[in-house]
Amino acid sequence: MSDMADGTAAAPLAGVKVLDLSRFIAGPLCAQILADFGAEVVKIERPGGEDSRHHGPYHEDESIYMFLYHRNKYDAALDTRHPEALGILERLIEWADVVVENYRPGTIEKMGIGYERMKELNPDVILVSISGFGQTGPDSRRALFDAISQASSGLMSMTGEPGGRPTLSGTYIADYTTGYQGAIGALLAVLHRERTGEGQLVDVASFDTMFSALGVRLISELMLGQSMPRSGSRDLLTAPVNVYEAADGPVYIQAGTASLFAKICAVMDRPDLAGDPRFATVDGRMSQQEYLEGEIGAWASSRTVAEIAHALEDAGVPYAKVADVAEVARSPQIAARGMIVESEHPELGTIRMPGNPVKMEKTPPMVRKAPPRVGEDNDHVYRDILGLSAEELAGLRESGAVRP
């Protein structure tokens, strides 16, 4: 089924062949984005499955972690350390337009399939190498997971309450963002190859990705030599902006600009605040944000979230109930945007997954295939794509290079 339409439009990446050698989140997500828009993606996975298949919770003995990053892919099991595996990998590289990998730099060279070797096999191949710190620099060989990226890039130092300890994001934000950047790099490289016939190496680092997302704090340091402290749920540059406790739960209110501050003062029936010269400028409101937040908090505490929402919606003041995951998953907006999609798997039943956030009028993303189990598509990959005979495949299975 399609995220947005009936799927009759031609997929923009139809005909693009992708070899996915990646694991965990960033690389698999990069390849899945390409698959959602029509690329033919073959995922190579070690027998027994990558590490993430062994992380609970489980549905029908399959980690639900795998449902997030592997739809629309063909899965083939291959013991890449087996002596016969190198020949199979080389044939897959010859087949592919794009190869996605996220091993630690230097690993694919040790496997015998580094970028120079890939170019010998397939001169116009595109290699998307996703890593922790990139292919160059003094930290390039360091291992990295999402939390290490958040800590090393400066993101964690920005997150949390003033005076408190640095805090991780509530999701794998570094891995997700790096996966998106990898997909962008792959698409740009495909476009370049269509124009010139040249392949290239796309080097995407989680550390770089998070560093580039530091925003105004980074520019403040670079241009002004000023460090900004953690701000909790406040806005960095305007006030009053924060989470307030309504009578039945938390609500976030953004009233930081001059026009929005005037509007919330009107909603609260507080012309004294609106006319006070202390609050007439951004700097003035920032210097008095605790006082202003106290006044808004007192107003909000005697009202329900629904009452606050009704008043602020009519006034044009941005607000949001602080929703939990269960609430937002059931919301009409999520349904209207097609952000939960379903696919049927013959063994796992109905799989529900987050939809693709890129909504395209003519060529929408599609869910054509449920996330596969390990080696589910061995016959298709090895016989239909690579053209191995039944005897050759049986020999690889007997040797242990291919399982099951």
Report the C-alpha gap between 192 and 202 in whole angstroms: 12
Distance CA 250, CA 308 (A): 11
Q: How far apart are the C-alpha atoms of 195 and 193, rounded to whole Å? A: 5
Please name the residue ranges forming H helices in 232-304: 258-267, 271-274, 282-287, 289-301
Among residues 36, 175, 203, 377, the one annotated as catalytic is 175
| Furthest C-alpha separation in the chain | 86
Instruction: Please give the angle made by the CA atoms of 171, 22 and 383, to the nearest 5 degrees.
Output: 135
Residue pair 130/27 in contact by the 8 Å Cβ criterion: yes
> Directed axis angle between helix 26-36 and helix 173-196, to 10°?
50
Phi, psi for residue 320 in degrees, rounded to 5? -160, 135
The amino acid present at 330, given as its one-letter code, is R
Q: Which residues contact 115 (CB under 8 A, 6 or more apart)?
A: 108, 127, 129, 201
Q: Active-site residue 175, yes or no?
A: yes
- Owner of token pair 């190496």: 201
Signed CA dihedral, 82, 87, 91, 93: sign only: positive
Asked if 312 contacts 302 with a C-beta cutoff of 8 angstroms, the reply is no
DSSP per-residue string spanning 130-176: EESS-SSSTTTT----HHHHHHHHSHHHHSS-TTS-----SS-HHHH
Q: DSSP assignment, residue 381?
A: I
Phi, psi of 5 (to 5 degrees): -145, -175
Q: What is the DSSP letter of 223?
A: I
Beta bridge pairs of residue 244: 251
The residues that are catalytic are: 175
